[in-house]
Amino acid sequence: MRRLWGCCLCLCLTSCSSGKYGDHPPFPVSGQVLVNGQPAQGVRLVFYHLGEWGDRAIVPQAWTGEDGQFVLETYGVKDGAPAGDYRVTAEWPAYRRGKNWGPDKLAAKYAKAETSGLTAHVEERKNELPPFELSISAAQIKKNEAAGTEPPRKKGRNR
């Protein structure tokens, strides 16, 4: 009987609450990143909401897959983003090893929300964003190729 009462209480509290997202529930958001017209794997996108949301910092993020596709995450895995307008940043690390990232293959061109020129609008429904079309110069491409995609090796004894 106690278990039944406990379940009823939990169900009541859950149904009477304003929801775990408050006034900012996520909506599915997906899209693609192209660099010089080609899908780019391993690009990190961060969405910065324009406007005031109160005390909460809500910053949807995503990493692109090998086809350049991404699905935004805000509160959980691939849950989307709250509706609104966003400035977007993009960084393309040469490598990722845990918390260590290589140099940005986009040369920080899109790394600041104020200057990236990237924007997005999320509606209260499923959202398929138009592709983010990024560009890098031929000189930057050569620099990326020369740098490689592996982190520098630590100097020390060979085992």
Q: What is the pLDDT of residues 112-144, one digit of tens each?
A: 999 999 999 999 999 999 999 999 999 998 888
Establish if 90 belongs to a structural domain: yes
Establish if 1 belongs to a structural domain: no
Say how far apart CA 144 and CA 141 lie, in whole Å. 5
Mean pLDDT of the region 99-115:
95
Say how far apart CA 43 and CA 135 lie, in whole Å. 13
The CATH number that applies at residue 127 is 2.60.40.10
For residue 140, give its domain range.
Answer: 23-147
pLDDT digits (tens, 9 = 90+) for 72-97: 999 999 999 999 999 999 999 999 99
The tally of domains found in the chain comes to: 1
Establish if 65 belongs to a structural domain: yes
Establish if 155 belongs to a structural domain: no
pLDDT digits (tens, 9 = 90+) for 23-74: 899 999 999 999 999 999 999 999 999 988 777 789 999 999 999 999 999 9
Say how far apart CA 33 and CA 135 lie, in whole Å. 11
Measure CA 81 to chain center. Answer: 10
Taking the model in full, what pTM does it have? Answer: 0.81
CA distances from 83 to 9, 25, 26, 124, 132 (A): 32, 8, 7, 6, 19
Establish if 157 belongs to a structural domain: no
Establish if 159 belongs to a structural domain: no
